[in-house]
Structure 1
Amino acid sequence: MDKFTTLTGVAAPLPIINIDTDMIIPKQYLKTIKRTGLGTALFSEMRYNDDGSENPDFVLNKPAYRDAKIIVAGDNFGCGSSREHAPWALLDFGIRCVIATSFADIFYNNCFKNGILPIIVTPEQLALLMDDAERGSNATVTVDLVSQTISGPDGGSVHFDIDPARKQTLLEGLDDIAVTLKHAGDISGYETHMAEDRPWV
């Protein structure tokens, strides 16, 4: 998993509340267990017309936001079913950070497991960041995980909170398995001790 330290890029405004996982990645794309290739299906029901052509009104189809790395969205992002394909699709498109006032718990947890930083901000902070995002490609946003700040194009910044353990796993680029393997020596020692102490087990 790629490390997350500092991210600078275009932020796409998506001022919609209750964006659920079916909106992020519709159910017909859940047949694969591969983490790649899902970026083209991200928000497909909003990105594409019935004939398969792009909907020019959807934010990620607009020239200013085609290479967006950040999404600024409304309340309760990632609600709905617990499909891990949702963060896979975001990551495959190039999104490394989602900013909202709240997230569904399972989606929030899945983001950290896949190298995406979900940031919870206040409604007042969201309004400022949404304004920055609506300025297009000329207004980049910088997310600094080390200092836990989001800096806008005018030099202003907001601070965000994050669980220290989750922060560290992103900074080191560790998924759950990699975190466990950091303790491989202790685990091996425990298994050896148990085998000697209880050979019948």
Structure 2
Amino acid sequence: MQKFDTLTGVAAPMPIVNVDTDMIIPKDYLRTIKRTGLASGLFAELRFKDDGSENPDFVLNKPAYRNAEILVAGDNFGCGSSREHAPWALLDFGIRCVISTSFADIFYNNCFKNGVLPIRVTPEQLALLFDDAERGANARLTIDLAAQTITGPDGGSIHFDIDPFRKHCLLNGLDDIGLTMEKADAIGDYEQKLAESRPWA
């Protein structure tokens, strides 16, 4: 998993509440188990018209936000079904961080397992971040995971809380497999001792 330490990038404002996982990545794109190639389906029903052309009113289709790496979103982001394709699609598009006042639990957990940082802030802080994001490509946010801060284009800083274990995993690029591999020597020793003590097994 790609490490997350410091990210400075364009933040796209999406002040929509209850964005569910079907809105993030529609069910038509769930036929694959690959984590790549899903960028085209991200917010497909919002990004594209019925004829397949781009919807110019959708934020990620606007020139200032086409390369957004941060999403500032409304309450209860990632609700709905538990599809892990949602964080896969965000990451494949290039979005490494989502900021909201609240997230659905399963989506929130899946983000950490896939290198996407979900940040919870207060409604007052979110309003300030929406103001920053609405300035466009020249107003970048800096996310410092180690310091647990979001710094706006004017230098103002917001502190956010995060579980220490999840922070450790993101800083070191450790998903579940990576965490297991950290114990590879201990696992190997155990398997060897087990084979010696139970040769018939």
TM-score of the two chains, using structure 1 as the length reference: 0.97
Secondary structure of 1:126's aligned partner: helix
In structure 2, what is the equivalent of residue 4 of structure 1?
4
**2:141 aligned residue:** 141
Q: What TM-score, normalized by structure 2, do the two folds share?
A: 0.97
For residues 160 and 77 of structure 1, what CA distance do their matches in structure 2 show? 17
Tell me the SS of whatever aligns to 1:185: helix
Q: Give the aligned length.
A: 201
Gaps of 5+ in 2: none
Aligned to 1:59: 59
Q: Which residue matches 2:163? A: 163
Shift of 1:191: 2.3
Map of 2:16 onto structure 1 = 16
Partner secondary structure for residue 150 of structure 1: strand
Q: What does the per-residue CA deviation read over 1:115-155, in whole Å, with 9 as the maximum and x for residues that have no partner?
A: 10001111111111111111111100000001000000010
- For 2:36 and 2:181, the matched residues in 1 are separated by 24
Point out 4+ residue stretches in structure 1 off by more than 6 angstroms. none
Report sequence identity in percent. Answer: 77
Q: Where does 1:100-179 land on structure 2 (aligned, <5 Å)?
A: 100-179=100-179
**Root-mean-square deviation (CA), in Å?**
1.1
Instruction: Give 1:28 shift.
Output: 0.6
Code of the aligned partner of 1:186: A
How many angstroms does 1:200 deviate by? 5.2
- SS of equivalent residue, structure 2 residue 9: strand
Q: Aligned equivalents of 1:117 and 1:141: distance in 2?
A: 14
